[in-house]
Amino acid sequence: MAYSNMNETPESTTPTATIADAPKTMLIQRADSYFNKMWYAEAAELYGEALKKDKKNYTYEIIQKTADAYYFNTNMEKAYEWYHVLYENFNDELSADNIFRYAHALKGTGKYARAKRLMRLYNRKTKNGTLARVEVTKDSPNRNEVVLDNILHSESDYEIKNMGINTEYSDFSPMFLDSSQVVFSSAKDSSFFHTRRYKWNDQPYLDLYVAKINKESQDLKNALKFSKKINTKYHEASVSFSPDNKTMYFTRNNYGKKLKRDKKGINHLKIYKSTKVDMEWTEAVEVPFNSDYYSTGHPALSPDGKQL
């Protein structure tokens, strides 16, 4: 998960337009509204419908937002499709961000050679601030590319396999709780009833889960939700445990009894701490360096537990 997508923006009570019946101007207006709220899954759907309906919608702004909406949802196939359209039709207007995201969409779809050439262009553009027409040429590789090529073409020292607890949703950030259990973050839908969904990617909100380690297969099994004292109706993710497993740090939306926002209406991320008392995790408290005006996340403790 692109981790910034745990940030929250204001929820709207405006009813969703019917895609099939809405005129194109309304489609674009609604798509822009969703995009500005970071509701990228719904924005991408509406932009795609508008582009399908009328070629007049093929403007730099709309195509860029369409590509960005898919990119922020890590739908790299669709992101590549629309960044390529942007590249082919608006080459002279491409920004450094356009080139950077296009290059990563190329990587995400396995087009490594072209991605490397685009990253050279990105490096040049960010270095001198200007670039005439963007041309993809076979420049000599830089040192970073040589290192990457050596890694990609070397024999792997590791075997990668899909864990049994993975789902169609986001499952990530595993951390050993002890020698027999792993805690991880997941957006899996474990509710029998209607589950609240995060507007950024139209997936359920993240929670922490704990799974058993199968010693024989080295797979994970029997995933259950972590402590009710820790999981809330918003995002929890990226946990780190102290060496004695009696203290934990994790990331959560800025949420007490209600969701807190900055002046722009954005809900940021904070690091929280909980301790284990009588085998139960306590209510989490904030670390002192959090803020309502920027995000703090991804806590990781040093092996001795003295540095975060």
**Residue partners of 287: CB distance under 8 A and separation at least 6:** 249, 270, 271, 272, 273, 296, 308
Find the Cα–Cα–Cα–Cα dihedral 119, 125, 128, 130, rounded to 10°: 160
The confidence score (pLDDT) of residue 10 equals 42
The confidence score (pLDDT) of residue 21 equals 41
Do residue 46 and residue 84 come from a single domain?
A: yes
Residue 160 resides in a domain: no
Residue 15 is part of which domain span? 3-152
Do residue 143 and residue 40 come from a single domain?
A: yes
CATH number at residue 89: 1.25.40.10
Least-confidence region, from 65-69, 164-168, 284-288: 164-168
For 276-301, the pLDDT digits (tens) are: 999 999 999 999 999 888 889 999 99
112: three-class secondary structure by DSSP: helix
Do residue 200 and residue 73 come from a single domain?
A: no
Least-confidence region, from 11-20, 23-32, 130-139: 11-20
The confidence score (pLDDT) of residue 262 equals 53
Residue 40 resides in a domain: yes
Pairing of strands 220-225, 247-253: unpaired
The two structure tokens encoding residue 265: 């209406």
Residue 291 resides in a domain: no
Residue 46 confidence (pLDDT) above 80: yes
pLDDT above 90 coverage of the chain, percent: 36
> What's the whole-number average pLDDT of the chain?
79
Do residue 104 and residue 212 come from a single domain?
A: no
Half-sphere exposure (Cβ direction) of 236: Cα atoms closer than 13 Å:
24
Give me the residue label for tokens 């895609």. 19
Q: Are 2 and 201 within 8 A, CB to CB?
A: no
Q: How many domains does the chain have?
A: 2
Q: Are 262 and 269 within 8 A, CB to CB?
A: no
Do residue 133 and residue 182 come from a single domain?
A: no
Nearest to 61 by CA among 42, 47, 49: 47
**Residue partners of 228: CB distance under 8 A and separation at least 6:** none
255: β partners: 259
The predicted model scores a pTM of 0.59
Q: Are 200 and 261 within 8 A, CB to CB?
A: no
Do residue 141 and residue 32 come from a single domain?
A: yes
Do residue 8 and residue 145 come from a single domain?
A: yes
Instruction: Give the mean pLDDT of 197-202.
Output: 49
Nearest to 79 by CA among 105, 116, 98: 105
Do residue 204 and residue 270 come from a single domain?
A: yes
Cα separation, 296 vs 220, in Å, equals 29
Cα separation, 122 vs 110, in Å, equals 19
